[in-house]
Amino acid sequence: MQAFLLLLALPVWMWLGLSILRRCSGLPMVWQITASGLPRRSQRLSRAWTNAGFAAVVLAYPLLRGRMPLDYYASLFPFERAAALRLLGGFFGTVTYLSLIYLAWIATDQVRIGVRHAGSVVARRLAAVPFSALLGAVMEELLFRAVFMAELLESMSPAPAVAVGALVFAAAHYVRRVKRYWTFAGHVGLGVLLCTCFAATHSLWLPIGVHAGGIFVIMGVRPFVRYTGPGWLVGASIFPYAGAAGVLGLSLLTYNLWLLFGATQ
């Protein structure tokens, strides 16, 4: 319950920060959590405010349970022989699946490849991909698996814990105002994958590897890919998992990773 209450506090924190920034920018307050209309500097401050809220939740959770944050999170990064296998296996497993999906789409003209930006812009974006993949994966896995999913597993068996964890993870991506809501099923599928990885191994190595691999591929191809196929098949440009091919790929990857890392636990 502590983890859930902390997660519920995050949208309030985000809305409060955005409301202050909107006031300072002379914009009217709105109930939606959106940075639309804010100056670029205020948008950067909004992201920093949100990240500060994430960090506060991650630090507060173990303290509320009477443990030091370093001790608590170190227990979820065990230095064991399987650690590198889980991290790299998750990363390259996701990269392989997504690469096969993109190759199939290219072969059937569902996506087209081309340079869409100036060379300097492409180089800058590609240079940021590894760092964004690692930081994004670590931040979300600490919040949704090390905090929320870990608490669920204390009171539930793995199957219902994975279901609840996946739904909350998916819903969290729609707290802000977004362009599309039909992508929800893809986020649920991604949540099932990541929650299963955590439930199977009781550590963060595998889910971080999987999560980082997905961000790495999706951000890496964005400067070159134009989606021409229907949304129900190829998903959205920022989230190809949302289409039918992506959901199927998530399901197969979940099953394969469970067989590799969870079935013998």
Strand partners, 239: 236
State pLDDT tens for residues 33-58. 888 888 889 899 999 999 999 999 99
Of 116 and 72, the one with more pLDDT = 72
What torsion, rounded to 10 degrees, do the Cα atoms 93, 90, 239, 3 define?
Answer: 160
- Whether pLDDT at 228 is above 60: yes
State pLDDT tens for residues 146-192. 999 999 999 999 999 999 999 999 999 998 888 888 889 999 999 99
Interacting residues of 90 by C-beta distance below 8 A, sequence separation 6+: 197, 205, 206, 207, 208, 209, 210, 211, 212, 213, 257
Measured CA to CA, the distance from residue 227 to residue 47 in angstroms comes to 28
Interacting residues of 67 by C-beta distance below 8 A, sequence separation 6+: none
Residue 4 CB-density burial (10 A; 0-12 exposed, 13-18 middle, 19+ buried): middle
Q: What pLDDT sits at residue 265?
A: 53
For residue 1, name the pLDDT band (cuts at 50, 70, 90): confident
pTM value? 0.93
For residue 123, name the pLDDT band (cuts at 50, 70, 90): confident
Q: Summarize the confidence of residues 185-202 as an average pLDDT.
A: 95
Q: Summarize the confidence of residues 253-260 as an average pLDDT.
A: 92
Strand partners, 232: none
Measured CA to CA, the distance from residue 44 to residue 38 in angstroms comes to 10
